[in-house]
Structure 1
Amino acid sequence: MWNSVWEQTWASLLYVQNRILAADAVDYYARTETPSPLQHFWSLSVQGQAFLLWVVILAICQILVRRRGWSPDRVVGVAFGAVFAISFVYSVILTAADQRAAYFDTGARLWEFAAGSLLVVVLPSVRAGERVRALLGWAGLVGLLALGMLVDVQGGFPGFLALWPILCAAAVVVSGSGPRPVGPARLLASRPLGALGRDAYALYLVHWPILITLLVVTGRSDAGLVGGALVIAASLVLARGLTALVDAPVRAWRRSDPSPLVPVAVLVVATAVVVTPLAGWQVSSAIQDRELEARALLDNPGAAVLRDPALPEPPADAVLLPLPTQLEDEWVYLDQDCSGDRAVAVEILQGTCSETRGTPRADQTIVVIGDSHAQQMTGALLPVAAQNGWGVVFLIKGGCSMGLEEPGMDPSCPEWREAAIAHAERLAPAAVMTVVTRSDPGEDDEALRPGIEGFLQRMADADLDVIAVRDNPRFAFDMFGCVVDTENPLDCAVPRSSSLADVNPARELAGPGVRLVDLTPWICPEDFCPGVVGNVAVYRDDNHLSRTYATTLAPSLAEQLPPSLG
Structure 2
Amino acid sequence: MRLTLGSRPLSGNADRADEGRWAYRPDIDGLRALAILLVVSYHVWFGRVSGGVDVFLMLSAFFLTRGFVRRMAGPTPVRPATHMLGVFRRLLPAAAVTLVGVLVVVWAAYPETTWRPVWEQTWASLTYSQNWLLAADAVDYYARTEMPSPLQHFWSMSVQGQAFALWIVLLGLCQVVVRRRGLSPDRVVGTVFGAVFALSFVYSVIRTATAQQVAYFDTGARLWEFAAGSLLVVALPHLRLGVALRAVVGWAGLAGLLVLGMVLDVRGGFPGFLALWPVLCAAAIVASGTGENRFGPARLLASRPVRAFGRDAYALYLVHWPILVTFMVVNDRTEIGLVGGLGIVVLSLMLARALTWAVDRPVRAWRRNDASPLVPVAVLTAAAVVVAVPVGAWQTTTWLHEREVEARAQVMNPGAAVLRDPALAEIPADAPMLPLATLLDAEWTQLGRECTGDWATDAEELIGTCSETAHTARARRTIAVIGDSHAQQITAALLPAAETNGWGVVHLIKGGCSMGLDEPGMDERCEGWREAAIGLVERVKPDAVMTVVTRSDAGEDDEKVRPGVDRFVDRMQAAGIDVLAVRDNPRFAFDMFGCVVDAADPIDCAVPRSASLADSNPADALARPGVSLLDLTPWICPDDLCVGVIGNVAVYRDDNHLTRIYARTLGPSMAEQLPAQLG
Fold in common (TM above 0.5): yes
What SS class does the counterpart of residue 153 from structure 2 fall into? helix
CA distance in 2, matches of 1:445, 1:388: 37
* Counterpart in the other structure of 2:250: 137
Structure 1 residue runs of 5 or longer lacking an equivalent are none
Q: Is the 8 A contact 1:175 1:182 kept in 2?
A: no
Q: Is the 8 A contact 2:466 2:507 kept in 1?
A: yes
* Counterpart in the other structure of 1:488: 601
1:15 equivalent in alignment to 2:125:
no
Picking from 409, 413, 423, the partner of 1:310 is 423
Picking from 214, 219, 226, the partner of 2:339 is 226
Q: Deviations over 1:503-528 (max 9, x none)?
A: 21222322222122111111112222
CA distance in 2, matches of 1:459, 1:301: 36
What SS class does the counterpart of residue 467 from structure 1 fall into? strand
Residue 68 of structure 1 and its aligned partner are, at CA, apart by: 4.6
Residue 376 of structure 1 and its aligned partner are, at CA, apart by: 0.5
Residue 416 of structure 1 and its aligned partner are, at CA, apart by: 0.8
CA distance in 1, matches of 2:473, 2:176: 54
CA distance in 1, matches of 2:289, 2:322: 33
* Counterpart in the other structure of 1:55: 168
* Counterpart in the other structure of 1:147: 260
1:26 equivalent in alignment to 2:139:
yes
1:471 equivalent in alignment to 2:584:
yes
* Counterpart in the other structure of 1:394: 507
Residue 441 of structure 1 and its aligned partner are, at CA, apart by: 2.2
CA distance in 1, matches of 2:576, 2:183: 72
1:278 equivalent in alignment to 2:391:
yes
What SS class does the counterpart of residue 581 from structure 2 fall into? strand
- The residue type equivalent to 1:335 in the other structure is G
Residue 67 of structure 1 and its aligned partner are, at CA, apart by: 4.9
Residue 443 of structure 1 and its aligned partner are, at CA, apart by: 7.3
Residue 220 of structure 1 and its aligned partner are, at CA, apart by: 2.4
- Higher mean alpha-carbon deviation, 62-71 vs 31-40, is at 62-71
CA distance in 1, matches of 2:171, 2:461: 40
- The residue type equivalent to 2:363 in the other structure is V
* Counterpart in the other structure of 1:215: 328
| TM-score, length basis structure 2 | 0.81
Change beyond 3 A, Cα 1:272–1:429: same
Q: Deviations over 1:229-255 (max 9, x none)?
A: 222222222212211221111112112
Structure 2 residue runs of 5 or longer lacking an equivalent are 1-113
CA distance in 2, matches of 1:443, 1:250: 58
Picking from 521, 533, 548, the partner of 1:408 is 521
Q: Is the 8 A contact 1:13 1:271 kept in 2?
A: yes
Q: Is the 8 A contact 2:425 2:647 kept in 1?
A: no
RCO higher in 1 or 2 (8 Å CA, sep ≥ 6)? 2
Q: Is the 8 A contact 2:515 2:549 kept in 1?
A: yes
Picking from 205, 222, 225, the partner of 1:92 is 205
Residue 180 of structure 1 and its aligned partner are, at CA, apart by: 6.0
* Counterpart in the other structure of 1:183: 296
What SS class does the counterpart of residue 120 from structure 1 fall into? helix
| TM-score, length basis structure 1 | 0.96
CA distance in 2, matches of 1:238, 1:260: 30
CA distance in 2, matches of 1:186, 1:126: 20
Aligned length: 566
Residue 316 of structure 1 and its aligned partner are, at CA, apart by: 2.2
Q: Deviations over 1:426-452 (max 9, x none)?
A: 222121111111112247611111111
Identical amino acids, percent of aligned pairs: 70
CA distance in 1, matches of 2:549, 2:322: 44
* Counterpart in the other structure of 1:352: 465
Change beyond 3 A, Cα 1:529–1:202: same
1:564 equivalent in alignment to 2:677:
yes
Q: Deviations over 1:177-216 (max 9, x none)?
A: 2256752111222222222212111111111112222222
Residue 368 of structure 1 and its aligned partner are, at CA, apart by: 0.6
* Counterpart in the other structure of 2:317: 204
CA distance in 2, matches of 1:379, 1:176: 65
Picking from 24, 36, 40, the partner of 2:149 is 36
* Counterpart in the other structure of 2:536: 423
CA distance in 2, matches of 1:355, 1:55: 47
Residue 122 of structure 1 and its aligned partner are, at CA, apart by: 0.8
CA distance in 2, matches of 1:71, 1:358: 66
CA distance in 2, matches of 1:90, 1:443: 43
* Counterpart in the other structure of 2:614: 501
Q: Is the 8 A contact 2:250 2:287 kept in 1?
A: yes
Q: Is the 8 A contact 1:444 1:500 kept in 2?
A: no
Residue 330 of structure 1 and its aligned partner are, at CA, apart by: 1.1
Q: Is the 8 A contact 2:247 2:293 kept in 1?
A: no
